[in-house]
Amino acid sequence: MIGRFTRAVVAVTALGTLTAATACGVSSDDKASSGSSGKATGLKVGWSTIYLTPSWMQQTDKMMKADVEKLKADKKITSYQTFNANGDTSQQIAQIRAMIQQKYDVILVDAGSSTALNPALEQAVAAGITVVSFDSLVTSEKVVRVGTDQKEWGRMTGRWLGEKLGGKGKIIAFNGPAGVAVSEERWQGAEEALKTFPDIKIVANVHSEYNLAPAAQAFASAYSANPDIDGVFSQGGALSAAALQTLVKQKKKLVPITGENYNGFLKLWKEHKAAGFSSLSTAQPNYLGVIALRAAVAKAGGAAVPNSIMVPLPKITDENLDEYVKADQPDDSYPIQELAQPEIDKLIGT
Span 216-232, pLDDT tens digits: 999 999 999 999 999 99
Kindly state whether residue 320 falls inside one of the protein's structural domains: no
Question: Using 50, 70 and 90 to split pLDDT, how confident is the model at 15?
Answer: very low
Kindly state whether residue 264 falls inside one of the protein's structural domains: yes
Can you tell me the distance from the alpha carbon of 132 to that of 304, in angstroms, rounded to the nearest whole number? 14
SS (H, E, C) the chain: CCCCCCCCCCCECCCCCECCHHHCCEEECCCCCCCCCCCCCCEEEEEEECCCCCHHHHHHHHHHHHHHHHHHHCCCEEEEEEEECCCCHHHHHHHHHHHHHCCCCEEEEECCCCCCCHHHHHHHHHCCCEEEEECCCCCCCCCEEEECCHHHHHHHHHHHHHHHCCCEEEEEEEECCCCCHHHHHHHHHHHHHHCCCCEEEEEEEEECCCCHHHHHHHHHHHHHHCCCCCEEEECCHHHHHHHHHHHHHCCCCCCCECEECCHHHHHHHHHHHHHCCCCCEECCCCCHHHHHHHHHHHHHCCCCCCCEEECCCCCECCCCHHHCCCCCCCCCCCCCCCCCHHHHHHHHCC
Kindly state whether residue 102 falls inside one of the protein's structural domains: yes
Question: Using 50, 70 and 90 to split pLDDT, how confident is the model at 3?
Answer: very low
Question: Using 50, 70 and 90 to split pLDDT, how confident is the model at 337?
Answer: confident
Report pLDDT for 39: 63
Total number of domains constituting the chain: 2
Domain final residue pick, 266, 282, 298: 282
Question: Using 50, 70 and 90 to split pLDDT, how confident is the model at 27?
Answer: low
Can you tell me the distance from the alpha carbon of 71 to that of 297, in angstroms, rounded to the nearest whole number? 9
Question: Using 50, 70 and 90 to split pLDDT, how confident is the model at 13?
Answer: very low
Question: Using 50, 70 and 90 to split pLDDT, how confident is the model at 179?
Answer: confident
pLDDT digits 0-9 by tens, 33-43: 333 345 667 99
Residues 143 and 159 in one domain: no
Question: Using 50, 70 and 90 to split pLDDT, how confident is the model at 181?
Answer: confident
The one-letter amino acid code at 124 reads A
Report pLDDT for 341: 94
Can you tell me the distance from the alpha carbon of 217 to that of 344, in angstroms, rounded to the nearest whole number? 40
Residues 113 and 182 in one domain: no
Report pLDDT for 40: 62
Residues 165 and 69 in one domain: no
Kindly state whether residue 11 falls inside one of the protein's structural domains: no
Domain that holds residue 180: 150-282
Kindly state whether residue 230 falls inside one of the protein's structural domains: yes
Residues 213 and 163 in one domain: yes
Can you tell me the distance from the alpha carbon of 172 to that of 223, in angstroms, rounded to the nearest whole number? 8
Report pLDDT for 55: 85
Kindly state whether residue 45 falls inside one of the protein's structural domains: yes
The CATH number linked to 193 is: 3.40.50.2300
Domain final residue pick, 260, 282, 304: 282
Report pLDDT for 16: 33
Kindly state whether residue 143 falls inside one of the protein's structural domains: yes
Can you tell me the distance from the alpha carbon of 235 to that of 8, in angstroms, rounded to the nearest whole number? 30
Can you tell me the distance from the alpha carbon of 1 to that of 297, in angstroms, rounded to the nearest whole number? 25
The one-letter amino acid code at 250 reads Q
Residues 96 and 182 in one domain: no
Question: Using 50, 70 and 90 to split pLDDT, how confident is the model at 111?
Answer: very high
pLDDT digits 0-9 by tens, 120-170: 999 999 999 999 999 999 999 999 999 999 999 999 999 999 999 999 999
Average pLDDT, the chain: 89
Kindly state whether residue 210 falls inside one of the protein's structural domains: yes
Residues 169 and 270 in one domain: yes
Residues 122 and 227 in one domain: no
Residues 132 and 186 in one domain: no
CA distances from 146 to 255, 262, 289, 310, 314 (A): 35, 22, 8, 6, 15
Residues 45 and 131 in one domain: yes
Report pLDDT for 32: 38
Residues 306 and 223 in one domain: no
pLDDT digits 0-9 by tens, 309-321: 999 999 999 999 9
Question: Averaged over 52-69, what is the pLDDT?
Answer: 93
Residue 296 vs residue 11, higher pLDDT: 296
Question: Averaged over 320-333, what is the pLDDT?
Answer: 96
CA R_g for the chain: 21
Residues 60 and 47 in one domain: yes
Residues 119 and 183 in one domain: no
Report pLDDT for 24: 45
